[in-house]
Structure 1
Amino acid sequence: MKKYWTFIFLLIAGNSLLAQGVRVNLYGSYVFDDYFEAYADSYNYYHGTIEGGFQWGAGIEYSLRPTYSVELLYLRQDTHAPTTWQSGQFVAVTTDDLTLDINYMMLAGNRHVHSQNGKLESYGGLMAGVGTLNVTNESTNNSSSLTKFAWGIRLGCNIWATETVAIKVQAQLVSAVQAAGGGAYIGTGGGGVSVNSYSTIYQFSLGGGLSYKLGKRNQPAEKAN
Structure 2
Amino acid sequence: MVSFTNYFMKKYLLVVAIFAFCSLSSSAQEIRFNAYSSFMFADQFDSYWDAGNNYYYNGKLEEGLQWGGGFEYMVNDMLGIEVSYLRQDTNSPTRYRYVVGPDQFTNFDLGLNYIMVAPTRYFRAPGSPVEGFVGMMGGMLIASLNNPDNGHKNTVTKLAWGIKGGGIYWASDRMGVKLQAELMSAVQSVGGGFYFGTGGGGAGLSSYSSIYQFGLGGGLVFKLK
TM-score, length-normalised on structure 2? 0.82
Partners of 2:57 and 2:63 in 1: CA distance? 19
- State the match for 1:9 in structure 2: none
Deviations 1:77-119 (A, max 9, x none): 000000100124x411000010000000000000000122230
2:76 is the alignment partner of 1:73: no
Give the 3-state SS of the residue equivalent to 1:199 in structure 2.
Answer: coil
For 2:54, the aligned partner's letter is Y
Structure 2 residue runs of 5 or longer lacking an equivalent are 1-27
Partners of 1:62 and 1:39 in 2: CA distance? 44
- State the match for 1:51 in structure 2: 62
Give the 3-state SS of the residue equivalent to 1:167 in structure 2.
Answer: strand
Is the Cα–Cα contact under 8 Å of residues 44 and 193 in structure 1 kept in the other structure? no
Partners of 2:192 and 2:76 in 1: CA distance? 42
The Cα shift of 1:37 comes to 0.2
Higher strand share: 1
For 1:105, the aligned partner's letter is I
TM-score, length-normalised on structure 1? 0.82
- State the match for 1:169 in structure 2: 179
What does 1:1-225 align with in structure 2 at a 5 Å threshold? Answer: 21-40=30-49, 41-88=52-99, 90-178=100-188, 184-188=195-199, 191-193=202-204, 196-215=206-225
For 2:78, the aligned partner's letter is T
Is the Cα–Cα contact under 8 Å of residues 34 and 203 in structure 1 kept in the other structure? yes
Residues 1:197 and 1:46: Cα distance change in structure 2 (over 3 Å): same
For 2:221, the aligned partner's letter is S
Residues 1:160 and 1:138: Cα distance change in structure 2 (over 3 Å): same
Deviations 1:27-59 (A, max 9, x none): 000000010000123311111010010000100
The Cα shift of 1:197 comes to 2.1
Structure 1 residue runs of 5 or longer lacking an equivalent are 1-18, 216-225
CA RMSD of aligned residues (A): 1.9
Give the 3-state SS of the residue equivalent to 2:210 in structure 1.
Answer: strand
Is the Cα–Cα contact under 8 Å of residues 23 and 61 in structure 1 kept in the other structure? yes
Residues 1:78 and 1:181: Cα distance change in structure 2 (over 3 Å): farther
- State the match for 1:223 in structure 2: none
Give the 3-state SS of the residue equivalent to 2:187 in structure 1.
Answer: strand
The Cα shift of 1:190 comes to 6.4
